[in-house]
Amino acid sequence: MTNFEIYIAIIIMALVNFLTRVFPFLFFTKNDLPKSLEFIEKFFPATIMTILVFYTLKDIDFSLSPYGAKEIISILFTASLHILMKNYLISIFLGTIFYMGLVQYF
């Protein structure tokens, strides 16, 4: 690639990034969000948590040692963290980090 092509690519990427950030402010200037976005705002965090639980449990063979202990401990840790803090973002990130730590080091 020539320098000109690289500059054009950078400008296009910056423009696309800028437009994706500005889009919600341009089309949702009123205080009322569409019902579909309200639904997503309300239920998306719980949906992400459910997907992470299924991802954690999908390949476990409960007939072999350690019988899914790491996964069950991770789910219990994440659930207790969410009950205590009531923050989906913290629960998702710290629960995922805890699970990855257990899987990698034990």
Looking at the 3D structure of the chain, how many domains does it have?
2
pLDDT reported for residue 98: 96
Taking the C-alpha atoms of residue 104 and residue 96, their distance in angstroms, rounded to an integer, is: 12
Are 60 and 20 in the same domain?
Answer: no
pLDDT reported for residue 77: 96
pLDDT reported for residue 53: 87
Q: Which pTM does this prediction carry? A: 0.63
Distance of alpha carbon 24 from the chain centroid: 20
Domain of residue 26: give its range.
Answer: 1-30
pLDDT reported for residue 92: 86
Helix extents (H) in the chain = 3-27, 35-57, 69-85, 88-105
Are 14 and 42 in the same domain?
Answer: no
The ranges of the chain with pLDDT < 50 are none
Are 22 and 65 in the same domain?
Answer: no
What are the residues whose beta carbons fall under 8 Å from the beta carbon of 52, sequence distance 6 or more? 78, 92, 95, 96
pLDDT reported for residue 37: 82
Are 50 and 99 in the same domain?
Answer: yes
Are 58 and 8 in the same domain?
Answer: no
Are 42 and 61 in the same domain?
Answer: yes
Are 12 and 63 in the same domain?
Answer: no
